[in-house]
Amino acid sequence: MKTKNKNMHKTTIELTEEQYFFLKERALTLQRQRKNYSIISIIRNLIDDDRKKWDAKGK
């Protein structure tokens, strides 16, 4: 399968049940606001934003 963006990579994360439900509820809330976004793209954005914040704290 070819991807248009060569910088893309597949990421797998492990979540506790509590983390999963929090993330899912947050994604559903955001999807109601942005109706044309998929749940997966919203979750990906939430994770990327959190990772950026985490990296910024470490510097």
Task: Report yes or no on 13 lying in a domain.
Answer: no
pLDDT digits (tens), the chain, 59 positions: 444 666 766 778 888 999 889 888 888 888 888 778 888 888 888 888 888 988 898 76
Sorted by sequence, the CB contacts under 8 Å of residue 27 that are 6+ apart come out as 39, 42, 43, 46
Asked if residue 8 is part of any domain, the answer here is no
The domain in which residue 49 lies consists of 20-54
**30 in a domain, yes or no?**
yes
Q: How many domains is the chain partitioned into structurally?
A: 1
Q: Do residues 46 and 26 touch, judged by C-beta distance below 8 A?
A: yes
| The pLDDT value given to residue 1 | 43
Q: What is residue 5's predicted lDDT score, i.e. its pLDDT?
A: 63
User: What is the spatial distance between Cα 4 and Cα 46, in angstroms, rounded to a whole number?
Assistant: 22
pLDDT of residue 47: 82
pLDDT at 4: 60
